[in-house]
Structure 1
Amino acid sequence: MIQKHKTAVSSPYMTIYDLVVPADNLLRKINDLLDFSFVYEELKNKYCHDNGRNAIDPIRMFKYLLLKTIFDLSDVDGVERSKYDMSFKYFLDMTPEEAVIEPSSLTKFRKLRLQDMNLLDLLINKTVEIAIEKKIIKSKTIIVDSTHTKARYNQKTPREILMNRSKNVRKAIYKVDEAMKERFPTKPTTDTLDDEITYCQKLVEVIEKEAHLCEYPKIKEPLNLLKETIADDMEQLRSMRDQDARVGHKSADSSFLGYKTHLAICEERIITAAHITTGEKPDGKQLPTLVEKSKVAGIEVEEAIGDMAYSEKDNISYCQEEDIKLISKLNPVVTQGIRKKEDEFEFNKDAGMFVCKAGHLAIRKKRHGKTETGKNPTLRYYFDVKKCQTCPFQEGCYKKGAKSKTYSVSIKSTEQTDQEEFQNSEYFKKKAKERYKIEAKNSELKHRHGYDVAFSSGLVGMELQGAMAIFTVNLKRILKLMERE
């Protein structure tokens, strides 16, 4: 049963917060900035209101997840820290002497309360709403890009994951008490996952008997991670696969297995929209989605800045229809016209025809294809077949017996021609330099909030991770901008 959120119960020790949680503490500033009652309103239908035991306050559960993201902690370590860290207790609306939750409650909260709700858009829209109210967002420009997140389980085999985590625990213990090596169970000699799980379970049992060792933070954290992997991730370890993860490409010769988060930020570096997909999805196709989500969040979009992945013809047309300036360079293939064998055919501007490697000029040209098909039309250049039949360079160029020899070049669409003209303007060149801002935001997500590797498996888990990470970086950015005002 759920009850309406209440502030912390009165306690004779409440004044301690005024002494140990200063005004410039990040968690105090977040509490002062944001009314978390919206969490209750969004989740109240997930609970029973008139039957059963009282549920843990959903706002407190949500704040626990936020603390995990802000400080990059596991469930166990996040709850453990809330036992003694007064800033955590203050943020969670707890009295100083109040008992903490069981870490397993967070897993249930994620699975039972946060499923089937669009948390990603909800949290982004909430932070954008705050930024607009505080008059922080003044620009009408969004910058778009994507960042990749590796799948948690497929990078290594389940057995390798367990081996690595048990190794980290042993190394931490040897630094404190090398004699423990004699008490540890014998490592498995087989390559089976079940034997590795059994070994890790026995290892944990031996360590936990040595209570003094478990008090060392450098031992406690890797030990908790190993226990969490065995307990919470057993099903995933046995399945040996993240079913939703897909292979994506960062460049022509490098790839990753996992997910993509497509982002839009304003020039003030607040994320205004996000769309999470599997790793193989192309970046450019997500532009209309990011623009529309930004508008729903309250952003007036007059410009969109992105790399050349966003300059495809459909995006140019979309931006023209929406009266949005697209600051995205055309792919060189488009600006030059799509050509094959460029080293064998050169354009003679005086004749308006192509010349082949042998120096033969095309005798005529003809336009092919209709714009209604959605594909760019082509200009086809025709050469004198009689010359081709006796040409010393005919191998690989002219097929014997063929009745014609042609060379085709795609024609830029009207939209692309206009975009190329805009691309050459000084305004375009100046605005394009703003794109670095989103690359810095991607780096912040990965290196400060653990966004380089997925916390769990599946697209749903990735969306939850993305929601909390983006909510965190937006709140921190808003606070930073407010301090400058």
Structure 2
Amino acid sequence: MSSNHRSDGASAKKKTTLIADGAYASTENTNLAEANNIDLVTTSLLGKAPNEVQAHFKLDTENHKVLECPAGKKPYKTRYYGKTGTYRASFTKKDCQDCPLQEHCGMKPQKKSNYVMITEKTVQRALYLKKYSLAEYQELAKIRNGVEGIPSILRRRYNVDHMPVRGYLRSKMRFAFKVAAINVKRVLKKAKQGCLLPNFGEKLQDFRENLSSLQQPIRLCA
């Protein structure tokens, strides 16, 4: 996603949904999309996925402090490491003793206290993971997975990356026939399953007659 964007009044009033590959699932791209009124939906997160519980950490990004943990406990000490952008929050043993979230928040025990290492990126990725685990976003991800299946078949089975002809027109014709082959196989599969319309045979015959009535034949070679 390009950084040359317009985040002023030129942003679209109606929110646009953009479905992209998991490689675009970054905090920078998500913030950039939100600034331009775009709902960026990716199929998956790259790298290690955080726990959804970590989305509930409250951070003061201006003063670089951890305000609350997911259970609502306030740390008695916070430290910020500017080079890595990491927050270290220390909690008392009593705060974490009976907490049901201690196995999920990333807490690490010590002799006298417990601590958590968290970053703004981790919190945002956890928010992203929680948001896109909803059923409506999973359905959007399926749309892209379905679309991606066709180019994958064309490359693996029909070898479209290596056309045995030269020239734009010839390559375009061969590519069109390969796409048509996929459609024909799908139609035949549906026909065997009995999923087609009752009058499908008549429509197919009409199509053949219209095709044969073309005045100009299609030239397959130059």
Could you state the TM-score of these two structures normalised by the residue count of structure 1? Answer: 0.21
Structure number with the higher helix fraction is 1
The structure number with the bigger radius of gyration is 1
Could you state the TM-score of these two structures normalised by the residue count of structure 2? Answer: 0.40
Query: Higher relative contact order at CA 8 Å, sep ≥6: structure 1 or structure 2?
Result: 1
